[in-house]
Amino acid sequence: MRTLICELKNKIGETVVLQGWLHRVRNLGKIAFVILRDRSGLVQCVVNTKEINIKGIKLESVVEITGEVCKNESVEKGMEVLIKELVIISEVKDDLPIEINKDIIEANLDTVLNNRVLSLRNPSVNAVFKVQAALAQGFSEYLKGQGFTEIFTPKIVAEGTEGGTELFEVKYFDKKAYLAQSPQFYKQMMVGAGYERVFETGHVYRAESHDTQRHVNEFVSLDLEMGFIQDEKDIMKLETEMLKYIFSHIKEECMEELKLLNVNIPEIIGEIPSMRLPDAIQILREKYNKTDLERDIDPEGEKLICQYAKEAFGSEFIFLTHYPQSKRPMYTMPAEEGLTHSFDLIFRGLEITTGGQRIHNYEQLKSSIASRGMNPESFNNYLEVFKYGMPPHGGLAIGLERLTAQLIGLHNVREATLFTRDRFRIMP
């Protein structure tokens, strides 16, 4: 039976069968050191080249190794495998377009993305997506423990959830349809259906034409919605506790990956600090001489307000609340002075969450839709449930790739996107 590399520590003195990729070879003449890689890690294997010919085998060939596990305190894992037999399962035919057996792939990002599957064989790149998987798992586990039900909503929709033109149009038989910007309407409908608390991990689509380090056109959104809230503070409190759980889960599940990536998971002690957006803008004007902001914050402002939060509160996170109605969707609960009961969570200089309280009154929601220049009749299926008793509710959405990138310290969200879809990329 096959043994995984992570299981070798319990196999000292035994003969095992390993299968994986030929990661690196160092030939010293009579002996050679072969680094084998499988999904669980890497191990050094020693081969007598007089007995087993490895000449000409290209790196990344898939091989099967039979050998004895021996202690060796001078190597990283404290053990190595003495090869008795090496069989090539699948030989590499062409030269690799990128070198993946180094700590960091020395190629530009476009080249890496063009060869995405190969790049994922690099342990550091591979580790990014194991952390991302643990992040999504932690999100799901925490919410299930809080009485949330996981849902799966359509990605082909008749109307955009947020209006505007940032929609991908698709031909749906003899009708016009769109790729979903968000599961927002369906989340609210499921709260009204009596589930009260729902969440979804799913792809969303934004037809935004910009090309920045923080935007892609298809990404994974971690969405939740919950009923019977007082206001947006209940959602903020839930997210704070959820992030604590997720970070603890990642540290437990991804010890090796975090070590490899040299990542320190942030500590959230107590509550995440929060401030109203108008107050944040005033601080940016007075403390950082950023006088170009009026009723919203820009990327530079997000970085500066995080710098302020770090200095003033010792926090890498800050909630900004009470965004203007003009900057929020029509379903957002209005507040005083043209503001809303909404928030963004900024983490290390980048917005990773948008959320808030929603309008639950039918007439108020219908009026809000009309005030944005949209026809309420186009939203009848969504509006219908609000006629029949909808509790006060709210929710949030977290960009999975953005949070992953910020957590690990990646400069471009594409590095944390498995297969990128942006303004110029639709392959592989």
Residue 103 resides in a domain: no
Q: To the nearest 5 percent, what fractions of the chain are helix, strand and coil?
A: 35, 30, 35
- The string of pLDDT tens digits covering residues 10-31 is 999 999 999 999 999 999 989 9
The per-residue pLDDT for 162 is: 60
What is the C-alpha to C-alpha distance for residues 80 and 67, in angstroms, rounded to an integer? 9
Give the pLDDT band (50/70/90) at residue 147. very high
Residue 292 resides in a domain: yes
The count of domains in the chain is 2
Who wins on pLDDT, 164 or 93?
93
The per-residue pLDDT for 161 is: 63
- Domain residues for the domain of 398 are 117-416
What is the C-alpha to C-alpha distance for residues 317 and 117, in angstroms, rounded to an integer? 33
Question: Directed axis angle between helix 232-253 and helix 123-145, to 10°?
Answer: 130
CATH value at residue 28: 2.40.50.140
> Does 240 lie in the same domain as 342?
yes
Distances (CA, A) of 422 to 109, 151, 168, 230, 413: 13, 27, 12, 38, 11
State the alpha helices, DSSP H only, in 17-147.
Answer: 109-114, 116-119, 123-145
The per-residue pLDDT for 165 is: 64
CATH value at residue 346: 3.30.930.10
The per-residue pLDDT for 164 is: 59
Instruction: Please state the rounded mean pLDDT for residues 193-215.
Output: 95
Residues in the chain: 428
* 156-157 and 175-179 beta bridge pairing: antiparallel
Q: What is the mean pLDDT of the chain?
A: 96
The per-residue pLDDT for 27 is: 93
Instruction: Please state the rounded mean pLDDT for residues 224-243.
Output: 98
Which of these three, 55, 73, 90, is where a domain ends? 90
Element (H, E) at 150: strand 149-150
- The string of pLDDT tens digits covering residues 65-94 is 999 999 999 988 899 999 999 999 999 999
Task: Out of 162-166, 325-329, 383-387, pick the least confident.
Answer: 162-166
What's the pTM?
0.95
- Single out the residue of 301, 265, 240, 268 nearest to residue 404, CA to CA: 265
